[in-house]
Amino acid sequence: MMNIGLTFDLRSEYRAMGYSEEDVCEFDGEDTIAAIESALREEGMRTERIGNVLGLVQRLARGERWGLVFNIAEGLRGFGREAQVPCLLEAYGIPYTFSDPLALSITMHKPIAKRLVRSHGIPTPDFAVVASEEELTTSLPAFPVFVKPVAEGTGKGIDEGSVAGSRSELVDVVKRLVVRYAQPVLVESFLPGREITVGIVGTGSDARSVGVLEVFHNTDRFGRVYSYHVKENCEQLVYYRLASDSRAAEASRMALDAWRILGCRDGGRVDLRANGSGEFQFLEVNPLAGLHPTHSDLPILWEKTGGRYRDLIGSFVCSALSRTAWVPRTMQNGSEEAVPGGGDRVNEVLAHER
């Protein structure tokens, strides 16, 4: 039976250390970890909780190893925070799910990801990166603009004041965000149209879109901005619908191209929004998408297509095994180590493990 380690950042642990609810909003709750663990066990795997990067360091130092690590650790600090766990795992030769350190660092810094996809012809809103009020003298997109931190997720730093229609409004929001998040902000043209997210499973040429989820707001109170507050209260403030029209199909192909260009792996989401003419443009990639079975966008999308949560989790594992072509090997101390194996053996290995 394959031993799968789970790396994650648990909200309650950081809250107990004094971090605010917003500080840890990208981290996972106990219910998410339990759901992933249950799904993996239903797939015939043995699971072992490792925890965050500090816990991983301690376990590795004790000589512990795993056949595969299911990694959803977000990290706490820096543009490379999502890359910390994968860097350690690569140093120890341990295979893991989802994207590698390079892709995680690139996609964490939204302007860098936008520059890369734009260089391949994928449309993205005009933008500028601003680190202080003084830099607002540089060339900026025309108003209205949307302002957010360059390297946050789950809507952190986004609220109804994120859309600036004048220079004075822009100055206010830039000053507030730079101080609050200690990082530059992304100032981009505001797109007033439809908002969608595209679910992706797989890697490279094997990657595929699993559906397009459109976001609708139940109220105008929050300016129809998919903010941190709205995401945290999505059950009351928004509803979701699968989109299958020609525009959505085009956006799905665009998202898949962006996924491959940025080198993302195994599964995640690509967010897009339409301009005033209804044409979708790239916003960002989420290579470590939320996996709460009923609260996170990707599992919601998957369920709306008729899929089971355990199959979604299983697809990530299958993709990782196919991608790395690793085969588990039992070491003398009884733990498992991964050694290279042929890609054509993946199905045989999975069948044996089950």
Query: Residue 335 corresponds to which amino acid?
Result: S
Decide if 92 contacts 337 (C-beta within 8 A): no
- What single string gives the DSSP state of each residue in 318-331? HHHHHHHTEEEEE-
Decide if 251 contacts 245 (C-beta within 8 A): no
Query: Residue 69 corresponds to which amino acid?
Result: V
- What single string gives the DSSP state of each residue in 48-67? EEEESHHHHHHHHHTT---S
Both tokens of 347, joined, read: 């199905």
DSSP class of residue 159? Answer: S
Decide if 239 contacts 297 (C-beta within 8 A): no
pLDDT confidence of residue 154:
79
Q: Answer whether the bond into residue 95 is a cis peptide, omega within 30°.
A: no
pLDDT confidence of residue 32:
98
Per residue of the chain (354 residues), give pLDDT as tens.
789 999 999 999 999 999 999 899 999 999 999 999 999 999 999 999 999 999 999 999 999 999 999 999 999 999 999 999 999 999 999 999 999 999 999 999 999 999 999 999 999 999 999 999 889 877 899 999 999 999 998 788 888 889 999 999 999 999 999 999 999 999 999 999 999 999 999 999 999 999 999 999 887 655 568 877 788 788 888 999 999 999 999 999 999 999 999 999 999 999 999 999 999 999 999 999 999 999 999 999 999 999 999 999 999 999 999 987 555 555 444 555 554 443 343 343 344 334
List of domains in the chain? 3-98+329-353 (3.40.50.20), 106-123+191-287 (3.30.470.20), 127-189 (3.30.1490.20)
What is the greatest pairwise CA distance in the chain? 67
The whole-angstrom separation of Cα 104 and Cα 86 is 9
The whole-angstrom separation of Cα 352 and Cα 1 is 8
Residues whose CB falls within 8 Å of the CB of residue 310, separated by 6 or more in sequence, listed in order: 38, 39, 42, 43
Nearest CA-CA partner of 291 in 2, 1, 5, 6: 6
pTM of this structure: 0.90
- What single string gives the DSSP state of each residue in 284-305? EEESS----TTTSHHHHHHHHT
Decide if 11 contacts 52 (C-beta within 8 A): no
pLDDT confidence of residue 153:
86
pLDDT confidence of residue 345:
33
* Region for residue 169 given its phi and psi (left: phi exceeds 0; alpha: psi -120 to 50; beta: otherwise): alpha
The whole-angstrom separation of Cα 32 and Cα 335 is 26
**Integer CA distances (angstroms), 113 to 39, 151, 153, 285, 292, in order:** 32, 11, 14, 8, 25
Both tokens of 336, joined, read: 């498992």
Decide if 229 contacts 21 (C-beta within 8 A): no
> Sign of the CA dihedral 215, 220, 225, 228?
negative
Task: State how beta strands 267-274 and 336-340 pair.
Answer: unpaired
Query: Residue 220 corresponds to which amino acid?
Result: D
DSSP class of residue 76? Answer: S
pLDDT confidence of residue 120:
98
The whole-angstrom separation of Cα 321 and Cα 159 is 40
> Sign of the CA dihedral 261, 264, 267, 272?
negative
User: In which residue are the tokens 């045989």 written?
Assistant: 348
The whole-angstrom separation of Cα 184 and Cα 132 is 7
pLDDT confidence of residue 159:
86
